[in-house]
């Protein structure tokens, strides 16, 4: 694998980050994960725009313009000879003196990695996956701003361990008020009485790029969409359920713990939206 590191494409074996880097020491940084198909990045500029929003939220000055990131991502994919890939852009605050408020003595550290990705197994989309409600709560917005895609991911790591222990594909976190927030790598949607419902931003979630696109697609399809407050009871009693992310696209959920949704197969609204999203991805990545 070849890595883009601070302006240069280098072999993975030479992609080294200092032990004084604040991303390594404190998780002081931001990142984006993107889907590459046919050698093109789906919604690249939206991801980079969110990267800049995240940087502003943690007061991380970025010395490069958005186009620099777009070009660097494309160069990284090309350098690895990839057509279908998962791409991650990580920016840390850089090296500095030890201490949370330590003076930063260098530019931010920029790392871009692209790895071959042919999608998740087809059987998961055909049969759906299982989720659980984690005992780990989502960080309160007054602790870490949820709209910033931060490199500080211990919250999600602990919840993912919870899912693994309970043999689930994904763990859904509640916020500190007990409302459904989001998954460790995903946003969650349910269908109830032909309406599409998803946790609102006020619950303290990341406004996923795919989440936003699914909402747009649903409304264009004439589906009523509500960004609202959901309790675990609402999810358990949903007619359909699915999760979204840049690499999952729309992943059907067949069950939550022991509770099955409908026939435990992807529902009609889930399939409608999934096909529409796939058509959009194909259209945008074949230009």
Distance CA 164, CA 196 (A): 28
Catalytic residue among 149, 231, 283, 287: 149
Q: Give DSSP secondary structure letters for 115-126.
A: EE---S-HHHHH
Select from 280, 236, 202 the least CA-distant residue to 42.
280
Distance between CA atoms of residues 160 and 172, nearest Å = 9
265 is catalytic: no
β-pair type (249-256, 240-245) = antiparallel
- Residue located via tokens 């067949």: 254
- Judged by phi (left if over 0) then psi (alpha if -120 to 50, else beta), residue 182 lies in beta
What is the CB-side half-sphere exposure of residue 138 using CA atoms within 13 A?
30
- Where are the extended beta strands (E) located within 84-234? 85-92, 109-116, 129-137, 170-174, 180-183, 187-192, 195-199, 225-228
> What amino acid positions are annotated as catalytic residues?
149
């Amino acid at each position: 694998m070849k890595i883009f590191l601070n302006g240069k494409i280098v072999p993975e074996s030479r992609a080294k980050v200092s032990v004084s880097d604040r991303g390594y020491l404190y998780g002081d940084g931001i990142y984006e994960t993107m889907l590459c198909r046919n050698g093109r990045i789906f919604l690249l500029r939206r991801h980079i725009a969110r990267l800049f929003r995240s940087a502003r939220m943690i007061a991380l000055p970025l010395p490069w313009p958005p186009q620099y990131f777009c070009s660097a991502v494309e160069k990284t994919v090309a350098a690895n000879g990839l057509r279908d890939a998962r791409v991650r852009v990580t920016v840390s605050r850089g090296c500095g003196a030890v201490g949370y408020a330590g003076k930063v003595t260098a530019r931010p550290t920029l790392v871009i990695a692209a790895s071959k990705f042919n999608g998740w197994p087809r059987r998961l989309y055909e049969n759906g996956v299982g989720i659980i409600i984690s005992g780990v709560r989502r960080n309160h917005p007054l602790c870490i701003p949820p709209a910033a895609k931060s490199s500080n991911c211990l919250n999600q790591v602990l919840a993912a361990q919870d899912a693994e222990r309970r043999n689930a594909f994904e763990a859904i976190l509640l916020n500190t008020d007990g409302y459904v927030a989001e998954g460790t790598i995903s946003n969650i949607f349910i269908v109830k009485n032909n309406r599409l419902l998803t946790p609102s931003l006020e619950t303290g979630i990341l406004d996923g790029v795919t989440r936003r696109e699914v909402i747009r697609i649903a409304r264009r399809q004439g589906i009523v969409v509500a960004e609202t407050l959901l309790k675990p009871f609402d999810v358990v009693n949903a007619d359909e359920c699915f999760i979204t992310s840049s690499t999952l696209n729309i992943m059907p959920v067949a069950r939550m713990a022991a509770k099955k949704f409908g026939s435990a197969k992807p529902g009609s609204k889930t399939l409608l939206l999934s096909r529409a999203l796939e058509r959009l991805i194909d259209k945008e990545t074949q230009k």
